[in-house]
């Protein structure tokens, strides 16, 4: 794999499989296609970022525009985190950063320098699933599976949020510690849309893990 002189050898370049070098061959291979003319390679601004994903340290040199979601999916190839809307409207991209769940689509990767990120793959993999993943399987808390990693990351974080005493829209009394109730779970999970409509089963799965009666 040859890397053009003006293209720094970055983690991205290596991981993405030498995309740049192959581009040069394109022009010759398809003379009739409408191909961009040869031009000086203008490099979009990049920035270096280091963070830990599922316990593994990563150093990346990224186009500054890269979201945390795309850094995970396209650069680290951790595709368990899903892109459903890319605009913070569905929750499929939910990951846990330093113990808090966020929408990774609305977060620039370069802003996460030094952060510890947990994705669905970090919770558990086939053969060694996290209890929440097991519960989703048992209760059939998913159908197409596309929102599922986000639902599970959210569910894990939601139980922590309730434990930490963070109030929600349906918490009856702001000065009391919130409890794990189906009402609380439904409100708190509402940032994760499931168009297949597995909600009823998802709440059953979470209450099962939380050890409370649905």
Partner 1 sequence: MKSFTYERVDTPAAATAAFARNAGARFIAGGTNLLDLMKLEIETPAHLIDVSRLGFDRIEATGDGGLRIGAMVRNTDLASDARVRRDYGLLSRALVAGASGQLRNKATTAGNLLQRTRCPYFYDTNQPCNKRKAGSGCAAIGGFSRLHAVVGASEACIATHPSDMAVAMQALDAAVETVDAAGKTRSIALADFYRAPGTTPHLETTLAPGELITAVTLPKPVGGIHIYHKVRDRASYAFALISVGAVVQPDGSGRVALGGVGYKPWRVKAADAELPRGAKAATAALLAGAKTSHENAYKLPLVERTLAGVLMQAKG
Partner 2 sequence: MKFDTPATDNPIDRLKVVGKPTNRIDGPLKTSGTAPYAYERHDVVPNQAYGYVVGSAIAKGRISSMDLRAARAAPGVLAIVTAASAGKLGKGDFNTARLLGGPDIQHYHQAVALVVAESFEQARAAAALVRVQYTRAKGSYDLAKAMDGAVKPPPAFGTESDTRFGDFDSAFASAPVKLDARYTTPDHSHAMMEPHASIASWDGDKLTLWTSNQMIAWSVGDMAKTLGIPKENVRLVSPYIGGGFGGKLFIRSDAVLAALGAKAAGRPVKVALPRPLMTNNTTHRPATIQRIRLGATTDGKLTAIGHESWSGDLKGGGPETAVAQTRLLYAAPHRMTAMRLAVLDLPEGNAMRAPGEAPGLMALEIAIDEMAERLGMDPVAFRILNDTQVDPEKPERPFSQRRLNECLQFGSELFGWEDRNPEPGVTRDGRWLVGMGVAAAFRNNLAEKSAARVRLDRHGMVVVETDMTDIGTGSYTIIAQTAAEMLGIPLDQVDVRLGDSRFPVSAGSGGQWGANSSTAGVYAACVKLRTAVAEKLGLDPADAVFEKGKVRSGGKSVALAKAAADGEIVAEDFMEYGDLAQKFQQSTFGAHFAEVGVDAITGEIRVRRMLAVCAAGRILNPKAARSQVIGAMTMGAGAALMEELAVDKRFGFFVNHDLAGYEVPVHADIPHQEVVFLDEVDPTSSPMKAKGVGELGICGVAAAVANAVHHATGIRVRNYPVTLDKLLDKLPDVA
**Gap between the Cα atoms of 71 and 52, Å rounded:** 12
Cβ atoms 187, 168 nearer than 8 A: yes
* Alpha-carbon distances, residue 97 vs 116, 156, 191 (angstroms): 6, 12, 16
From the list partner 1, partner 2, none, partner contacted by residue 148 (C-beta under 5 to 8 A by kind):
partner 2
Cβ atoms 84, 93 nearer than 8 A: yes
Binding-site size, partner 2 (CB under 8 A): 87
The footprint of partner 2 on residues 15-44 (CB under 8 A) is 16-20, 22-23, 25-26, 29-30, 33-37, 39, 41-44
Decide: is 107 part of the binding site for partner 2 (CB under 8 A).
no
Cβ atoms 101, 107 nearer than 8 A: no
Mark residues 139-158: x for contact with partner 2 by CB under 8 A, - for none: -x-xxxxxxxx--x------
- On the 0-12 / 13-18 / 19+ scale of CB atoms within 10 A, 185 is buried
**Could you tell me the smallest distance in angstroms from the CB atom of residue 22 to partner 1?**
23
From the list partner 2, partner 1, none, partner contacted by residue 179 (C-beta under 5 to 8 A by kind):
none
**Could you tell me the smallest distance in angstroms from the CB atom of residue 50 to partner 2?**
20
3-state secondary structure of 68: helix
Q: Specify the residue, 23 or 177, whose C-beta has the smaller distance to partner 2.
A: 23
Chain positions contacting partner 1, by CB under 8 A:
44-45, 47, 63-65, 67, 86-88, 91, 94, 100-103, 106-108, 110-111, 113, 154, 157-158, 161, 164-169, 171, 174-175, 186-188, 190-193
Among 193, 208, 209, 210, binds partner 2 (CB under 8 A): 193
**Gap between the Cα atoms of 187 and 184, Å rounded:** 5
Checking phi first, is residue 82 left (phi over 0); if not, alpha (psi -120 to 50) or beta? Answer: beta
Decide: is 200 part of the binding site for partner 2 (CB under 8 A).
yes
Decide: is 71 part of the binding site for partner 2 (CB under 8 A).
no
């Amino acid at each position: 794999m040859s890397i053009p002189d003006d293209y720094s050898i970055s983690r991205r370049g290596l991981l993405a499989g030498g995309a740049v070098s192959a581009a040069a061959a394109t022009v010759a291979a398809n003379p009739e296609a409408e191909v961009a003319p040869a031009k000086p390679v203008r490099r979009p601004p990049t920035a270096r970022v280091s963070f830990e994903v599922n316990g593994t340290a990563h150093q990346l040199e990224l186009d500054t525009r890269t979201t945390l979601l795309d850094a995970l999916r396209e650069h680290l190839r951790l595709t368990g985190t899903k892109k459903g809307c890319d605009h913070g409207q569905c929750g499929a991209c939910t990951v846990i950063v330093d113990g808090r769940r966020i929408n990774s689509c609305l977060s620039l990767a370069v802003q996460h320098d030094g952060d510890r990120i947990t994705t669905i793959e970090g919770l558990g993999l086939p053969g060694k699933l996290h209890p929440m993943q097991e519960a989703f399987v048992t209760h059939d808390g998913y159908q197409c599976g596309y929102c599922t990693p986000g639902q599970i990351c959210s569910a894990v974080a939601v139980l922590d949020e309730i434990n930490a005493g963070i109030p929600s829209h349906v918490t009856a009394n702001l000065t009391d510690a919130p409890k794990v109730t189906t009402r609380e779970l439904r409100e708190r999970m509402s940032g994760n849309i499931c168009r297949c409509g597995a909600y009823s089963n998802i709440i059953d799965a979470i209450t099962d893990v939380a050890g409370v009666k649905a």
